[in-house]
Structure 1
Amino acid sequence: MNLKKSLVGMAMLLSVTLLAACGNSNSTTNSSSSNKTATSSKGGNYQVTGQSNSDQYAGVIKNGKYLTSKARGITSNQNSNLMNLKSFETGLQDISKKQFSTEKYVFQEGQYLSSSTVQNWIDRKSKSNPDGLNPESNGSTDPEKRNPMYLQSLEEQDYVQKSGSKLKIGGVTIGLAMNSVDYYRKTTYGAQYQTDISDATLEKEGKAMAKEVLTRLRKKPALKNVPIVIAIYKQASNDSLIGGKFVTYAINTGNSLGKWRAMDIQNVVFPLKTGESAPNDNDADAFSNFKTEVESFFPNLSGVTAQAQYKNGSLQGMNVSITTQFYSETEISSFTQFLADQAQKYLPSGVKIDITVSSTTDGVQSFLSRSSTAKKFSTHVFGSY
């Protein structure tokens, strides 16, 4: 039973992170299972993990344990959209690859910003917290008049290089997760209100914060001369079926901000609602045909939906969710094989696609996946053992 739960958890994590990771879909396998021992520039033994493929970073292990971030999980308030959290972290790493090659750099969780530092930065500026990046409260609780919380969270990712038997910092990437909607309460445990934030305001505030963040980081001796990438992420609202997206980033090699580079990313939910459109109508038609075939196989399906991400108008990946109402393992097994055939027949080729089959009462029942280079889907049906 524990094995089943572990496998279910793995499948759900893969499903949630697809949209953020689909930019890696063109990678080729180059597995390396060996760990390489090194020391940091300050001394101490570290290990560098192998790479599952050439498009992924090796990681850092310290004293036999994964080196976690010093400011892991710090946010200005609780965000109920899990897709935001996952796509923010993984998408930030995709941006890092534009500056820090996976062949030359090793990924290390943020070590230069402590949890207290990050907490102060994402809080409001005040007499007791002069380091706050969010604006001071003006005392108003009116959605149109109050000063909203623009910055939801801040993520640091470090990229180190091997220098002989040592690891030294080679660069840092900072992600600023900006609210498109700021949720708040006028009284503790009271009704929830919201302030909508326009794209123009979100980007303006994000760039102003990026300038201040860069200045603060350059004051740290270890980060005085290394490249620092800062990216601005637009969070989706809490009730959105999709996660947010990165809108722009800058590579900074000096004390002033570099040129901002816009990102054309669009997240889409299939089937489309009336009046909505996708960058490619063929993809919408392909999913519609797939959905029709799937729903004709079993009459007791609760829903067939998909989340897709486009970059510069090109489909990067698709995450399909199918909710069932049946429980027979033989039915699930047959249904999964049917899905593999229909997905290969109807869904777009050349992109990563994950399909998760879940019961309304019993969690994940089966999982299908196909890489961008594969022709057929791999499948797994979760048994009762």
Structure 2
Amino acid sequence: MKKISTLLLCTLLFITGCVQNSNEEEVLQNDEDIAEPETSIVPSYQLSDENYRMILPYKTSEARGVIVNQMANRIDIDEMEEGLRRLSKEVYDPEELYFQEGQYLDSSTIFTWIDELNPVLNEDANIETHRDNPRYLSHILEQNYMKHNEDQSVELAGISLGIAMKSVYRFTAEGVGPFYEDIPKEEMLSEGNKIAQAIVQQIREMEGLTEVPIMIALYQEEEQASPVPGNFVAKVNVPGGSSSVDGWESINEENILFPSDEGREKYYDDHEIVSSFGTEISQFFPNYVGLIGEGFYIDEELQKLTIEVPIEFYGKAEVLGFTQYAYGLVQEMFPNYYDLEINITSSQKMESLIYRDGGDETPTVHIFD
């Protein structure tokens, strides 16, 4: 118990150490309405140098909720939102700029654009017509990056747009279905380029957005039932004042399920570590039923490994014993050059968490009440 308490104290110290304190809290004014300036606050604490501070009071997106209706897989939604922020850091410096949810593309605009940028089919279109005219575009996600001036006013410094494209087209026709048609990646990229060009041209016609830089990233969704999300596949920067979308860069990211045939084929060593971890657990805990691992790779290098271990417990002592055992296996089996997160769950709740940032020697443990 003393060991667990020590680890929990380390967790608190870790969290405290991650908080970056600036000299003072800043009060900013929104520069969009000079006659009646809107006072905003930028918190004086930043969770880390890699995270954006956010302007308060927090403004939700003008298209709040649209993404849930447009993307069928919840894990795709999370990956797209977090991934777009991650890619934005390469363009918009987190130390200089602040994050705000999209304020320019409202729900009506996004729904209209999705309908206009996808093929228009009659209600009585037959199966072959649907197959020849897939709806490629699922969603358009906007993020805003703000700067403040010497007079403490705040203004838009850049926009990031995530364009979600289908990898599988699901449709019904002639009173039957659903049917599922795979969309080749090259076809998706070609259509994504056309869609991005049309979106930028319309954004440049919106008041106040003529000179704003725009970063665009294409996101390829996974199929609806996939246990792992899709990934971003290409990006491009459009300078302020330009309406031309060219110079696309490929993004080599992927999310891999472990254990799986794909994981074994592409990343054999990582697959074997995850499988061996499960084997070791099964030998000592009869209530273990399996695990699900997800590896996030950039340029074929593992960046983060997340493992969920569902198991039925019959008392807190069993949770403690299992967590201690898993902690020891982490120390023995998993290299520390990537982020690692192990979620131990029961049917009722999250029971405990083991995590380690890349480069750290010792994992941190949290056991939930």
TM-score range, shorter chain: 0.7 to 0.9
Whether 1:73 aligns to 2:60 is: no
Residue matched to 1:47: 41
Residue matched to 2:103: 111
Q: 1:368 to 1:278 in 2, by over 3 A?
A: same
Shift in Å, 1:187: 7.8
Aligned pair partner of 2:357 in 367, 371, 378: 371
SS in 1 for 2:199: helix
Whether 1:96 aligns to 2:85 is: no
Q: Which runs of 5+ in 2 are unaligned?
A: 1-16
Distance 2:71 2:226 in 1: 12
Residue matched to 1:149: 135
Q: Percent identity?
A: 29
Distance 2:322 2:118 in 1: 50
Residue matched to 1:193: 179
SS in 2 for 1:300: coil
Q: Counterpart amino acid of 2:20?
A: S
SS in 2 for 1:333: helix
Conserved 8 A contact 1:151-1:176: yes
Shift in Å, 1:78: 5.1
Distance 2:141 2:219 in 1: 11
Q: Report the structure number with the largest CA radius of gyration.
A: 2
Residue matched to 1:24: none
1:152-191 mapped onto 2 (5 Å cutoff): 152-164=138-150, 165-186=152-173, 191=177
Q: 1:137 to 1:168 in 2, by over 3 A?
A: same
**TM-score, normalised by the number of residues in structure 2:** 0.87
Shift in Å, 1:323: 1.1
Shift in Å, 1:194: 2.2
Residue matched to 1:3: none
Q: Counterpart amino acid of 1:365?
A: E
Distance 2:177 2:316 in 1: 44
Shift in Å, 1:140: 2.6
Residue matched to 2:14: none
Distance 2:112 2:314 in 1: 49
Distance 1:373 1:141 in 2: 56
Q: Counterpart amino acid of 2:47?
A: S
Q: Counterpart amino acid of 2:53?
A: A
Shift in Å, 1:382: 2.3
Compare 342-351 and 173-182 and name the one that shifted more. Answer: 342-351
Q: Counterpart amino acid of 1:257?
A: V
Conserved 8 A contact 1:137-1:146: no
Whether 1:134 aligns to 2:122 is: no
Q: 1:291 to 1:243 in 2, by over 3 A?
A: same
**TM-score, normalised by the number of residues in structure 1:** 0.83
Conserved 8 A contact 2:148-2:155: yes
Distance 2:345 2:311 in 1: 6
Conserved 8 A contact 2:59-2:100: yes
Whether 1:257 aligns to 2:245 is: yes
SS in 2 for 1:296: helix
Structure 1 segments of 4 or more deviating over 6 A?
A: none
SS in 2 for 1:46: strand
Q: 1:166 to 1:338 in 2, by over 3 A?
A: same
Q: Counterpart amino acid of 2:218?
A: I
SS in 2 for 1:195: strand
Q: Which runs of 5+ in 1 are unaligned?
A: 1-27, 124-131
